[in-house]
Chain A
Amino acid sequence: MLSLLLILVAALFFTGIIIRTKSLASGRKGPGIIQPIKDVIRLFKKGSVYSQTTSIIFQIAPTIYFASVVMAMLVIPFGQSKGIISFNGDFIFFAYVLALGKFFSIISALDTGSSFEGMGASREALYSMFAEPAFFILMGSLALLTGYTSFHEIFAALHVGSYISYAITVLATFVLVMVAMIENSRMPIDDPKTHLELTMVHEVMILDNSGFDLGLILTAGFMKFAIYGALVVNLFIGMVRYEYAIPMFFAIQFLMAVSIGLIESFMARFRMSHNAQFIVALTSVSLLIFFAVLLILGKFA
């Protein structure tokens, strides 16, 4: 329950902070940090335009996408406090529920019969396919390290002790942040600010969405950021008491948003054809974590 509230609060500001960081980095003052939320509220009040080609799929897809993100959010724990849903193997549920949302967002892009949206959909499907093993190997290694299989128990038992385990946490943070970038279609995989439909991934998929539906998709995007941020936070807090853990939560979320903003300000997007390789490389980082876990557990003996 606590995690849900915290994630929702973080989601309110996350994207705003990214945008603010980017504008400060480029020497502008930029909009206030709750501007994205204001935009979404405005979208919720707007009417919609639907393409003549689209069918019912296009209309229900944003709802299902949003619901899947909310469902995934319920699984995330916060330190000692469980998520609303918690069971052995809940991280599998987490990944597959998000997959449902992805499935619908992809077919809704194909529903428009556009020449660009299919391109974005194809890329999104491919990239998230490649990101999947990185996440699963990471979670599998953590399960191996702690001997538990649910998010809550894994994170609660994750003791940062030896030097190797610091390395694990650093690498795991890297993997989770990158998975978050892929899932949210941000730099260096995708540039949300690009102007050309041919070079977009996520943005081109939602070209035809408008009004309430677009609002749902954007809100889901904010929450997705906060969800992955919360996962990263969970790597560190373990059994830390709430009075320290909660400020830590916001500090780490803030830090993550700022660093995403900085990455986006000073980096260019990878070449589309290199993205797949980059994402596969992420799996090898996960394998590094796996080997480190084997080292810690002394399985090499």
Chain B
Amino acid sequence: MIIAVLLFQLVSLLVFFIPTKHKALFASLIVILNSLATSWLAFPALSGNTIEFLFNAGSFLGEIPIRIDGLSAWFIFIINFTSITGVIYGTGYLRAYNETAAKLNLHWLMFIVFHLSMVWVCMLQNGFAFLIAWEIMSLSSMLLVIFDHNNPKTIKAGINYLVQMHISVVFLTVGFLWVYFETGTFSFDAFNTYFGANSNIWLFVVFFVGFGLKAGFIPLHSWLPHAHPAAPSHISGVMSGVIVKLGIYGIIRIISFLKSDYLLLGEIVITISILTGLYGIMNAAVHRDFKRMLAYCTIENIGIIGIGIGIGLMGIGNGSPIMYYLGFGGALLHVLNHSLFKSLLFYSAGSVYQQTHTRDMDKLGGLIKLMPKTAILFLIGALAIGGIPPFNGFVSEFILYSGLIEGIKSNDLGQISLLILSIAGLSIIGGVSILTFTKTFGTIFLGSPRETLKHKPTEVSKTMLFPQYAIIAVMLTVVFAPKFYLNIIGNLLKGLSSATVGFDITGFTNYASTISNISIYSACFIGLIILIWAIRWLATQRLPVASNATWGCGYVAPNAHMQYTGKSFSKPLGKIFSFFLIERKNFDELSTGEIFPKERSYSSYYHDFFEFRFITRFSHQLVNSSGYFKFIQNGKVQSYVLYGIVFILAILIISALNII
């Protein structure tokens, strides 16, 4: 049966031969079928039955264990759902490109490969095979990112992504080889032996860097703000929703094998995560490009997930089951939640981009009147991502806060201080995310249009709206049936690691019932809003209503350019944190003799602190120093022949002298 599922996946490559017109439809069908098949495969694992079989991959790779446990199944379900919504949304989003057959051909093929490779990453438990799947995932997603390859910026973002993903692969390979040389096998079981016998810290750090590059922990995040704006929106949605989460999957997978040093690693992870969250959201707040803003916001959410992982690790270290369950539980639930609202936000932002062809929010405005459905969808995503009740983000953030507060009951001064600061950090992240999303929503959708667009935007097609409704439906199930999800998470956490076998889950189930109560209160809250709205409607229906211009301090000829812009909205924040929100302005200053100034332009933009201060400098140095070796590659055939002769002679002489 399982073999049949795997064989079917090969069939899906037939998409290559389908005529362009039907390709998108066929691709969606294949993605849905593949998702159903793999979900069906993974389903028993959610209730705690690990599915395991060996796959003989010839003499070189040997037996590859394919194992789907609760953790894999959780991620497989998230991958499948987001891929389905992505492919349906993409069908509508790319409709305009139907003439460009070559682009679409590669795109849909790669989408299917991408989806399957992500699922495989979650199933393979052999280092070598894992790396192959991981590499296929990175390559296929890179090809998806550069869909618009006529644009040099897109190519640049794609190459940036490719290079960074390969740095990640180097770290992962080093990690797997390290274990291989110590234990003699690539199978994941080898980690148990390795971690049992050796120091846990360094190997974990190697893997944390490798997977952290994918996930986007600072300072490894710099590919995200380039790749996400460059990719088509359904790809950004899937990448941000799922592919970065596979970095989290990898980290949790490695954690499940750890044997010691939990406390130290937990403290490291939680510190990096808080900084990641703050850095991500502060940057998100100042950017004008709304897809770049969402990319930074993804970094922030990775930070929030990391906080959960950190709490969980500290929980294992302290032997505190409640911290363990709340930490990892919050992290895993936030993985789900973020995959939902982030893909929703990318899709609705993509709808805006499709209709307006600009990503600069300060050129937009008043879209709620032209695209009301998209506006409401974006608003729901914005509220959810801010962790505001009654939406799903609150559920996971509440669990994380509870984990932090349970943690401060410990006896260690250092831990208590770290956790109190984490609480403060998480609350600042929440505050800035409100600033970020009020700014984004307000600038794009509210007020009046800031610039006249070439085409008048209209509401997007049903194909693009439907997946977003589906996402909201799932979001609501998280809010109103949190117990369902928390039970699954509780189950899968029970068997996650050998260190947590005896951990008592009752504390977590108590929290689960508290959270179910919160969903009742959320329902009451919605009821209260409706009640007050009804009272307002009753009280005001007889009253006169007039419509007039916005109050402009008595100024009677205001225009749309006088509106407050998104840039100015976040400027005070940018000023306060100018030490890492580096702003650069491009303009010619007025010279002293210039009595009649010419027309001039002004533009300002923000640099990424780490990229600007470290990565670019480092890579420039690298390029400069490689300049010294240019003389070798001088383009003369004669020199190359000479190199060959020198080399052969050297070999001859060395072997003649018995040196090697």
Contacts and interface: CB of A to CB of B under 8 A. Distances in A.
A110 B443 contact: yes
Given A92-B401, A99-B388, A125-B438, A112 B518 contact: no
A250 B51 CA distance: 64
B131 to A, nearest CB: 41
B648 interface: no
Interface string A36-47: 000000001111
A126 B569 CA distance: 9
B442 A112 contact: no
A268 interface: no
A137 B424 CA distance: 6
A113 B448 contact: yes
A116 B554 CA distance: 12
Interface string A117-161: 111011101101111110111001101100101000000000000
B420 A141 contact: yes
A92 B379 CA distance: 22
A199 interface: no
Interface residues of B, number: 81
Interface in B5-45: none
Interface string A67-83: 11011000000000000
* SS class, residues of chain A in contact with chain B: helix
Contact of A70 (B387, B411, B528): B528
What class of interface size applies to chain A in its complex with B?
35 or more
Nearest to A109: B442
A254 interface: no
Interface in B437-471: 437-439, 441-443, 446-448
B552 A114 contact: yes
Contacts of A13: none
A110 B405 contact: no
Contacts of A49: 545-548
Contacts of B446: 55, 57, 107, 110-111, 113
B638 to A, nearest CB: 67
A89 B404 CA distance: 11
Interface stretch (A19-27, A169-177, A204-212, A227-235): A204-212
Contacts of A115: 552, 558, 562-564
A299 B419 CA distance: 15
The 10 closest A-B pairs by CB, nearest first: A118-B564, A110-B442, A129-B431, A113-B447, A47-B544, A133-B424, A125-B435, A47-B543, A136-B427, A51-B550
Interface of B: 365-366, 368-369, 379, 383, 386-389, 394, 397-398, 401-402, 404-405, 408-409, 411, 413, 416, 420, 423-428, 430-432, 434-435, 437-439, 441-443, 446-448, 511, 514, 517-518, 521, 524-525, 528-529, 532-533, 536, 539-540, 543-553, 558, 560, 562-565, 568-573, 576
Given A53-B550, A71-B524, A126-B573, 10 more contacts: A49-B546, A52-B548, A57-B368, A63-B536, A96-B387, A111-B446, A113-B563, A122-B571, A136-B427, A137-B424
